Structure 1
Amino acid sequence: MGEYVAEDKPAPTGGVEHGAQAEAPQEGLQPRGKWANKREFLLSMAGEIIGLGNVWRFPYLCFKNGGGAFLIPYFVFLLFCGIPVFFLETALGQYTSEGGVTAWRKICPMFEGIGIASQVIVMYLNIYYIVVLAWVIFYLFNSFWSPLPWSTCDNSWNTEMCHDQSGIYANPHMFNSESNWSFLNNRTDSDYMFDSIEMNSTAIFELRSPEEEFWFHRVLRMDDTMSLGEVNLDLALCLLVAWVICYFCIWKGIRSTGKVVYFTATFPYLMLFILFIRGITLPGSAEGLKFYLMPDFTMLANPRVWRDAGTQVFFSYAVCQGVLTALGSYNKYNNNCYRDCVALCCLNSATSVFAGFTVFSVLGFMAHQLNLPVAEIASSGPGLAFMAYPKALTLLPGSSFWAVLFFLMLLFLGLDSQFVCVESLATAVTDMFPGFLRRPGRREILVLVIAVVCFLLGLPLVTQGGIVLFQLIDTYGASGTTLLFLACLETVVIGWVYGADRFYDNIEDMIGYRPNPVLKYCWMFITPLICGMTMMYDLESGDSLTIYNYAPGSWASAVATLLILTPLICIPVYIVVSACRDRRNMSTPSSDLRQARPHKPVLTLCKRVILKSQGKPAGGGTGEAGPRDEKIKMGEPTGV
């Protein structure tokens, strides 16, 4: 296992380190850090890609889309789209030693807008994703009460429509598929985060479980007007607590991030394992697992199943957000990122499958206790995390103990994903303005500014009607359509503009051998084709437009349009900017990037030259790679 050290001096021309580090540092500038060891990099990457979606989205999608048969389209997308783009972005960061924006500027100046677009998406994530952690913290505080406050109808927030287990579940015949109980009904649209909370004007007059009433009337405090209303002060306080924790996890850069992930990335696995052991020992758990994995191969003929598999892979693997590039940029040049990426992808998918066993074993027990089909219990998003699973926990002996464990697991699953996103944004901004921000004390101020701004922008999401705005950002901010478009463009730029063969040479120069040649053809043909087809189907189906069923007025449409166009408009804008700066070198890589074979064609296909070499760029910094043993000299782990 390799060790990493901070960069304290520039490497000589043609040496291992390059990019910004190849230039003479200005007086007073701090060097760009490196991971103290490979474990920190792997745990940070695992913390980013393994999050709440593994627990509350993948199991439900698997159950809804054919059980075990869903794994077929899932792994098709993983092998031909997920892993190629995941590896591309990580290797790009390691090769350039730059964040999500400046890495694309160095590779191909005219497509710097790709990096800007990814940071806009990360900004969306930083604003709204942490609101979920505020909900988790709120539930965690309430988990210490006995009985659990969401287990009875005897609370001040309960209405006359609230009925607990004795009233509702003893009479399951009272409910049917047309009821508005999102807790009991399955949804088939593409929006997973809020499948469980869509309401209409009559929903508040229908019978509800105490878990629903706690969620709607105590946590969200929704009313039928759906206006923003007042800020919920207790949720705002929980949001502040989440941001304080996040800030102190990353305020010192990867010096603090690399240490925190030792706990935040491993603790959820301990909790998941404990809940799994408890779940499979409960009566009825086998029935839940049967519903989870029972294969229905007829579902494979449904295009929505393939669309769901593709969007799950892209969301789960955090591609097209610049985060992977930022984390990879802190690697030593010769780190074997290819092996790391394959291992991380296997870990992520295995965690998703294992989380399904944990979740559905407990839901099977719940269905057994309530004498209901598992199909009426299973749900996605907050319906699972904040209503279905908490209900199951109330049926267990020592329910408060299990509730604390469950919400602690959710907190740490979401926390490391959140602070890594903030770290990515801070890295991108710092690399864009190194002369100003890479000075003592300024990084801490930058992270504080990001935290304060995102906290203030997040306050409207914890108002009485903030859930509508939250769903708009979730549906259209980091939408599947936007991510699919960026994935298409990234692979096309690397494959056809920068040159897939040149990028392969760069990777071979870093890790010592050429990756599987299938990756080249994925970047050039397969990934853009699959992503493009999925994007077109996503646009044509228009499933996400269901949000307008309850979002009032034209403002929702305006906000949705703005959220989609803001990142995408960055791409043509920066093409124009690049043309104004230097039209002749719009696609020419930076001269300080190390090129092992500068005179070799940058793209060949079937032994035919598609793109010729551009020769040795002016300014030096390239040339034939030196001896491999010279390149892999490793320093003592001195930290960052």
Structure 2
Amino acid sequence: MNRERRKRERDGRDGDRGQWANKTEYILVVAGNVVGLGNVWRFPYLCYKNGGGAFLVPYGLLAVVCGIPLFLLESSVGQYTQEGFITCWRKLCPLAQGIGYGLMMMKLYDFSYILVQVWALFYLVFSFRSQLPWASCDNTWNTAHCLGLKPFNSSNLTATQATSAATEFWERRALAMSGGIEELGSVRWELALCLLACWVFCYFSIWKGVRSSGKVAYFTATFPYVMLLILLIRGLSLPGAWQGIYYYLYPDLNQLTNLEVWIEAGSQIFFSYSLTAGTLNVLSSHNEYNNNCYKDCFWLCLLNSGTSFVAGFVVFSVLGFMAQKQGVSIDNVVESGPGLAFITYPQATAMMPLPQFWTVCFFLMLILLGADTHFVTVDSAITSVTDLFPRLLRTQVRHEIFVLFVCSSFFLVHLTLVTQGGIYIFLLIDYYGCTRACQDFLAVCQCLALGWTFGANRILNIIEDMTGQTPCIFFKLCWKYIIPLLTLISFISYLVDYKHLRVNDWYVYPDWAYALGWTMTLSSVLMVPLWAAGQMGLTPGTFRQRLSILCRPVEAPAWQKENREEGETVELRTPAVTA
């Protein structure tokens, strides 16, 4: 009781940082964040492309040696420090605070993924029409090359000329694509209204911090599973569904010798588990100190991977049906990313009875999956900035104004994404700003800072102290050796195999766009060495003395200050550095 009273007094001085109302809210928000679009449009395609059922071998192995250990590491650090992904390093290893600023840069680029919600909302509105506009070629935007839902045959157009009605709706109606990034064109007012609606929803999801986001997650984190179940049942009942599932899971063991398959499996783990993104750190920082993050880690990772696996049945059962209806092989209809969500799947649902119902279910699921991930991304960035300036931003009124400022500012910035050339900007940000190389580099730095400088043994002791469970020594080996080695290999592989971004295999960006892309990549990567070099230059003393000072926590976690005020001593929580 005395500790709780002191905590309330401290929060009264610096503003209430906020904690989850209950464990359920925390689980739902984290689940909503990690279970996102990557589970639906990325994992099934990667599985099909990289050996079917054989892909589950590298995916499962890397989930064990990289995914779960990093998930536990980031969650436990947030719960231990009770800080965002920038200020937490003051209580761990100040020299590595550049990692936090690198994560902040990646977060700003991640905000652009709201565009997926915008597109899904746009499609949702059109889904209520009696005739789905992507099901026919009788619209003003269609060309003479439009094929509609008819199967391709020699009496129609040549293969190089033919385009589906769904493709033309996507490119000519939804996006109204210009010739390139040099031709931004006008703002698409319909997409701009959808963008405004998405940012308004984001604002009211996070305007009161965890007190509002936790409540919103009751709906946004659970309803997509209802939609997924409905679509799964419908998909499995379609003719040709099992042929699609066969293509999804048929094992090609020869793919296991391909290094690129292993790298893509690791990339999918990082992407879908939200690793090296800072969000796990922030979400866990709102937990009680004694929350069992060790057990949470296993269940949440299992939920994420299980959802990815089930989503493959949803996607490929429908693709199998579509291939049978058109009289083509699965290879001709399977796609990943936006092509799957906004061309292939809408075209497939248009072939079903009651197409409007299935289309509405699908796009509602996409909107909620994207919304969950997006508002958590924005909130984690805002929380980390607030932790940098607690006295200025942590009062409720100032916090709400700051959230409004952030949402309004990025709405205006993102208007460039809903122009006729906006898709080219979005793809550039996706390819360079949120690239695998940034995640790999920050993962290496994070493991070196925590596993070696702060000390893997100390982290294990902290987890045991928080949860009452002794973590397996295997996690220590992963943090210190396995994860840094594997992510370094992936980082080098990215640099060696780097290829310029192209759109539809025909559009090549101008040189200035590629320079801008690499600037985005380096803006997060260089934060780590630049911050370390700056701190070393500003700290007095010899090189060894500076290094020793900057590798020692400059602040104690809040609960440690409370223990000192109450006269308690806890040996494992001393700030001395042990490797």
Change (3 A) 1:557 1:172: farther
Matches of residues 79-478 of structure 1 in structure 2 within 5 Å?
79-126=64-111, 128-166=112-150, 168-171=151-154, 179=160, 206-226=161-181, 227-478=183-434
Describe the SS at the equivalent of 2:6. Answer: coil
The letter for the 2-side match of 1:283 is P
Root-mean-square deviation (CA, aligned residues, Å) is 2.4
Change (3 A) 1:336 1:295: same
Note the C-alpha offset of 1:539.
1.5
Partner of 1:558: 515
* Alignment match, 2:21: 36
How far off is 1:594 after superposition? 7.9
Whole-angstrom distance in 2 between the partners of 1:474 and 1:216: 19
1:169 to partner: Cα distance: 2.5
Within-5 A mapping of 1:38-53: 38-53=23-38
Moved more, 104-113 or 324-333: 104-113
Q: Find the counterpart in structure 2 of residue 588 from structure 1.
A: 552
For residue 352 of structure 1, what is the amino acid of its counterpart?
S
What are the superposed Cα offsets for residues 309-336 of structure 1, whole Å, 9 maximum, x if unpaired?
1111111111111111000000000000
> Who is 2:543 aligned against?
none
Query: Aligned pairs, how many?
Result: 561
Q: Indicate conservation of the 8 Å contact 1:90/1:324, yes or no.
A: yes
Deviation, 1:230, is 1.2
Unaligned runs of 5+ residues in structure 2 are 541-545, 574-579
Instruction: Judge conservation of contact 1:291–1:375 (CA < 8 Å) in 2.
Output: no
1:26 deviates by 6.0
Aligned position for 2:489: 533
Q: Which residue of the partner structure matches residue 464 of structure 2?
A: 508
Please report the TM-score for the alignment, with normalisation by the length of structure 1: 0.84
Identity %: 46
Q: Is the contact made by 1:118 and 1:567 (CA closer than 8 Å) also made in structure 2?
A: yes
CA distance in 1 between partners of 2:569 and 2:520 (Å) = 41
Match of 1:601 in 2: none
Contact 1:43 1:261 in 2 (8 A): yes
Letter in 2 for 1:420: V
C-alpha spacing 1:346/1:87, structure 2 compared with 1 (3 Å):
same
1:74 aligns with 2:21: no
Q: Identify which range, 129-138 or 531-540, moves more after superposition.
A: 531-540
Contact 2:98 2:529 in 1 (8 A): yes
Amino acid at match of 2:419: T
Q: Distance in 2 between matches of 1:270 and 1:229?
A: 39
The answer to which of 223-232 and 305-314 deviates more is 223-232
Q: 1:490 to 1:56 in 2, by over 3 A?
A: same
For residues 103-145 of structure 1, give each alpha carbon's deviation from its aligned partner in whole angstroms, at most 9, with x where no partner exists: 122210111110111111111111x100110000000000000
Instruction: Report Cα offsets for 1:449-506 as digits up to 9, x if no partner.
Output: 1111211121111111111111110011110011011111111111111011111111
Instruction: Name the CA distance, whole Å, in 1 between partners of 2:266 and 2:142.
Output: 40
Letter in 2 for 1:275: L
Q: What SS does the aligned partner of 2:396 have?
A: coil
**Residue 593 of structure 1: how far off its partner (Å):** 3.4
Q: Is the 8 A contact 2:149 2:351 kept in 1?
A: no
User: Against the structure 1 CA distance between its residues 174 and 81, is the aligned structure 2 distance closer, same or farther, given a 3 Å change threshold?
Assistant: farther
Q: 1:594 to 1:520 in 2, by over 3 A?
A: farther
Q: Could you list the runs of 4 or more consecutive aligned residues of structure 1 that deviate by over 6 angstroms after TM superposition?
A: 172-176
Structure 1 residue 172: Cα displacement:
9.6
Q: Deviations along 1:286-318, whole A, 9 cap, x unmatched?
A: 100000000000111111111111111111111
Instruction: Render the CA deviation track for 1:205-241: whole Å, top value 9, x for unaligned.
Output: x321100000000011013355211111111111111
Which SS does the other structure have where 1:148 is aligned?
coil
**1:522 and 2:518 correspond:** no
Post-superposition CA distance 1:350-390 (Å, at most 9, x none): 00000000111111111111111111111101111001100
Secondary structure in structure 2 of the residue aligned to 1:441? helix
Distance of 1:106 and 1:364 partners within structure 2: 53
Q: Is 1:67–1:295's contact at 8 Å kept on the other side of the alignment?
A: yes
Q: Which moved more, 1:140-149 or 1:532-541?
A: 532-541
Residue by residue, what CA displacement relative to the aligned partner does 1:6-60 show, whole Å, maximum 9, x if unpaired?
x97435xxxxxxxxx8x94564x42221111111111110011100110001001
Question: How much has 1:573 moved relative to structure 2?
Answer: 2.3
Q: Output the amino acid matched with 1:540.
A: V
| Structure 1 residues without counterparts, runs of 5 or longer | 12-20, 180-205, 597-615, 627-640
Range with bigger deviation, 141-150 or 580-589: 580-589
Taking the aligned partners of 2:559 and 2:455, their CA distance within structure 1 comes to 12
Report the CA distance shift for 1:159/1:107 in structure 2 as closer, same or farther (over 3 A): same
**How far 1:174 sits from its partner (Å)?**
6.8
Shift of 1:589: 1.6
